[in-house]
Structures are given as C-alpha cells and as structure tokens.
Amino acid sequence: MRVLCAPNAFKGSVSAIVAARALAAGSRDAGAEPEVLPMADGGDGTLDCLLAAARRPEIVLHRVSGPLGGRASARLGWMAPGEAVVELAEAAGLRRLGRRLDPLGSTSRGAGELMARALDGGARRIVVGVGGSACTDGGSGILTALGARLLDGRGRPLGRGGGVLTELERVDLSGLDPRLAECAIDVAVDVANPLGGNTGAARVFAPQKGADAAGVERLEAGLLRLAAVLERDAGIDPGLRLLPGSGAAGGSAYGLAVLGATLRPGAALVADAVGLDAALAGCDLVLTGEGRLDAQTARGKATMEVAVRAARRGVACIAVAGEVADSLPGLFAATVSLTGIALPGEDPRRVPRRLLRRAAAAAVRGASIGGR
C-alpha cells in the first residue's frame, strides 16, 4: 500500500515537516510505502513546505526590520532561480514578539524589505505567505519599504504601525521600485476576510494581536483611511478593499494587492506548488492532519484541500489531529484524535511524534483490512 503523508503543522506542537515524517514512520510500521509531502495554507511554515518540495531550494538570511522596528534576521527562500518565497511571519510575525504585543505599532515593513532583497536577487516571481502576522497596518510597511511615501498633514513620513494611519493625508507611489512591474507576486492568504468592516482585519483579528476595544476602532479607522487616500491619490481600485482575503495579515494582503499582486487561497497555492495532485495519483491512502479539527478546517485549511483533492481521485483520506472537535464526515473517511489514543501520562503536546506514529500505524492497518 502506498500512503501519502500530507499534514499541515500542528500549531504549538510540531511543524508540518516533522508531522509528515512521524506519519511516514507509522505507515512503515504497518508495512506501507509512505511518501512525505508536508502542507501549509499561507501561514507559518509555508516557506519550509514550499522549499521542501523544490528541486533547487536555497535559504538566505537577511537583516530586516522586525515588527517593532528593530533589526531581525529573517529567511528568504528560493524555490528556483528567479522564484522567491517570502513568509511575512519571518519578519513581522507574532512569534517574534512573545508577550511584547504592540497591535498599534507593529509593522509589516520587514516583509517588504525581504521582497526588495528578492528583487535584488533577480526574482521574477515572489510567493508571499501572509499568515501569523503581528501587524494591522494594511501593508503600509510593505509599501514604504518598496518606495511608497505615506505623509501626514505636514508632509512628514508617517511612523510605523497601523495606529498612525488615521494621520495619513497624502500618498505618493511614484517612487515604487520599478522592478515590481517585471515581477509576478502571488499572495497565499489563509482567510477570506475583506480589509474593513465587521468581518475585516481590525475587528476580527486585531484582538488576537493584543488590541483592546479602543485600539480595534483606531486600527479600523486607519485601514479605511489608508484605502481612501490610496484611491484618491493613486487611483487604486475601490474594489480592492472588498477583495476576499484582502484583510489577511492585518490588511497586508491589501497592500500587496495595491502593488498588483494576485491573492490566492493559500492551501490551493501550496498544493499546486508542491505537486499534490501528482502525488495523489500514485497512492492508495492519504494521511493528513492539523492541531485541531473543527468547523474552521472546512473553510480553506490545508487539510480540507488535501481531502477534497483526494476525493476527486477516489483516494481515501484519513485525518489525524491533536483534538477532533468535528469529524467532518463529508470530508474524511475517518479521523484519529491524538488525545483519544494517548495512554495515561502521555501529553499530545509533549510527545506528538510518538502519537502521530502510533496513529498512522493504526490508520494504515485499519485501511488495509477495510476498517475505519
């Protein structure tokens, strides 16, 4: 039996690569021939998944602006010559802050600086994964890093972060890096939220980044101000602020769309890039998974993408999760909860690889005899 091991990351526990290897080990224990294909949906780990499937991967470290304005080392990935990967969370992620949350002052500038380094390296295509951000600045940091000027009423450059966007009076995009016109930018978004409104970047996601009620409303006003001034001064299409996914990463996806980027569902983009369809064509069973299986899984997560594509080819798909809150029988042939198979004293967060290996072995043995 050939088994494709294609999980997402188990957030707060193991990466998609580590999870895939553990599932593969369990598949071998059950006598199967596994193939490892870690997945992502645009959030943390997207860079690693794309590079793991690349033929000529390369990682280059650069010093760029961190989310709070200091300097940080961040990775720029290369899938092939001319084809770069920027993971926004590398430079502007919540993981950079620990407990020092600053929802009003955090900036996306470092991601823009990584894009500039990619252009320096001859990039003709840049894939940007935007999940896991600390900022709610509408991509204003990215824009300024690439040559845009955002000015207040006195003609002075705005400070960093989304909290100052309410002071924006004028935008000048004439200084944008001209190399952007020759470079395709694909943005992997992991949500479908627009820039503003009740389902937008500030009101839905800013509280997760530490914003209180007043901070949320200030960020919301700033995002709408940014869009209004861009539409007035630079002729930006008003429809961009309503584009599904433009609210991803605190509106960073909106700022990238201003640059002409294409927003794509992250799970589908990654699946295409890593060759999921070709891998499915040669397998008998698929093992996928994530930290928690619930209703959110069916809203564009990587595990859903794997299940949908497996179903198109008539391949059974089993999901392994740290916790199964919803078994989603319409998507998966079966589900396995690490919490459910843990023995007394085994904490799934402490021994995830052991439990993933055990779950895979049980799933493969069950599938081989037609069980669940």
Question: What percentage of the chain has pLDDT greater than the value 70?
Answer: 99
Which pLDDT score, from 0 to 100, does residue 260 have?
97
Whether residue 16 contacts residue 355, with contact meaning beta carbons closer than 8 Å, is answered with: no
How many angstroms separate the CA atoms of 161 and 259, rounded? 19
Which pLDDT score, from 0 to 100, does residue 368 have?
79
Which pLDDT score, from 0 to 100, does residue 194 have?
98
| Nearest CA-CA partner of 192 in 204, 209, 207 | 204
Domain boundary among 240, 267, 294: 267
> In terms of domains, do 263 and 293 share one?
no
Which pLDDT score, from 0 to 100, does residue 329 have?
85
Q: How confident is the model at residue 296 (pLDDT cuts 50, 70, 90)?
A: confident
- pLDDT single digits (tens) 263-273: 999 999 999 99
What CATH number corresponds to the domain at position 236?
Answer: 3.90.1510.10
Coil, helix or strand for 229?
helix
Which pLDDT score, from 0 to 100, does residue 307 have?
96
Mean local confidence (pLDDT), 141-170: 97
> In terms of domains, do 253 and 337 share one?
no
- pLDDT single digits (tens) 31-78: 999 999 999 999 889 999 999 999 889 999 999 999 998 999 999 999
| Nearest CA-CA partner of 96 in 77, 73, 62 | 73
- In a 13 Å sphere around the CA of 245, the CA atoms on its Cβ side amount to 23
For 179, counting Cβ atoms within 10 Å of its Cβ (0-12 exposed, 13-18 middle, 19+ buried), the class is: middle
Whether residue 129 contacts residue 266, with contact meaning beta carbons closer than 8 Å, is answered with: yes
Q: How confident is the model at residue 327 (pLDDT cuts 50, 70, 90)?
A: confident
> In terms of domains, do 25 and 50 share one?
no
Domain boundary among 267, 299, 333: 267
Residue 372: pLDDT above 60? no
Mean local confidence (pLDDT), 202-208: 96
Residue 370: pLDDT above 80? no
How many angstroms separate the CA atoms of 250 and 207, rounded? 11
> In terms of domains, do 202 and 87 share one?
yes
> In terms of domains, do 298 and 280 share one?
yes
- pLDDT single digits (tens) 245-289: 999 999 999 999 999 999 999 999 999 999 999 999 989 999 999
- pLDDT single digits (tens) 341-364: 999 999 998 999 999 999 999 999
Domain span including residue 31: 2-37+275-368
Say whether pTM exceeds 0.85.
Answer: yes
Residue 137: pLDDT above 70? yes
What CATH number corresponds to the domain at position 355?
Answer: 3.40.50.10350
Mean pLDDT score of the chain:
95
